[in-house]
Amino acid sequence: MNEHTLPDALRYLIAARRAETTGLEALAHVCTLVTQAGELVHALQKERGYSNVYLAAEHASARETLLAYAADADVQARALRQGLERLDPAAQATADKARLLTRVAYVLYRLDELPALRRRVLARDLDIETSLAHYTRLINGLLGLVFDAADTALDPEVTRALVALFNLMQGKELAGQERACGVRGFAAGHFTAPQHAQLAQLIDGQDRCFEAFLAHAQPPQQAAWAALAACEAELRQLRGMAARTSPDARVDAALAQIWFDVQTARIDGMRAVEAELSAALPALCQARIARAHDDLDNHRRLARQLAEPAAASAVLFTVQGNALDAGAPDLAGPMLSPQLSRSLLDLVQAQAQRLQALSDALAGARSSLDARKHIEQAKQLLMAHHTLSEAAAHDKLRKAAMSRGLKLEEFARQVLAAGAGGQA
Residue 48 near residue 73 (C-beta atoms within 8 A): no
19 binds its own copies per the rule CB under 8 A: yes
CB of 90 to its own copies, least distance (A): 6
Q: Which is nearer to its own copies, 85 or 268 (CB)?
A: 85
Please name the residue ranges forming H helices in 230-254: 233-244
SS (H, E, C) 134-203: HHHHHHHHHHHHHHHHHHHCCCHHHHHHHHHHHHHHHHHHHHHHHHHHHHHHHHHCCCCHHHHHHHHHHH
Q: Which is nearer to its own copies, 190 or 288 (CB)?
A: 288
- Kindly tell me which residue out of 60, 61, 92, 405 binds its own copies, with binding defined by CB under 8 A: 92
Contact code string over 267-306 relative to its own copies, x by CB under 8 A? ----------------------------------------
Q: Which is nearer to its own copies, 152 or 206 (CB)?
A: 152
For the chain, report the end-to-end CA distance as a whole number of angstroms.
Answer: 59
Residues from 361 through 420 that contact its own copies (CB under 8 A): 380, 383-384
What is d(CA 22, CA 325) in angstroms, rounded to the nearest whole number?
A: 30
- Cα–Cα distances in angstroms (integers) from residue 147 to residues 17, 77, 99, 152, 399, in the given order: 27, 18, 11, 9, 26
Contact code string over 67-86 relative to its own copies, x by CB under 8 A? --------------x--x--
- Kindly tell me which residue out of 50, 106, 260, 317 binds its own copies, with binding defined by CB under 8 A: 106
Q: Which is nearer to its own copies, 224 or 352 (CB)?
A: 352
214 binds its own copies per the rule CB under 8 A: no
What is d(CA 301, CA 317) in angstroms, rounded to the nearest whole number?
A: 10
Contact code string over 304-333 relative to its own copies, x by CB under 8 A? -------------------x-x-xxxxxxx
Give the residue from 202, 212, 229, 204 showing the smallest Cα distance to 164: 212
Residues from 150 through 209 that contact its own copies (CB under 8 A): 154
- Kindly tell me which residue out of 40, 104, 202, 369 binds its own copies, with binding defined by CB under 8 A: 104
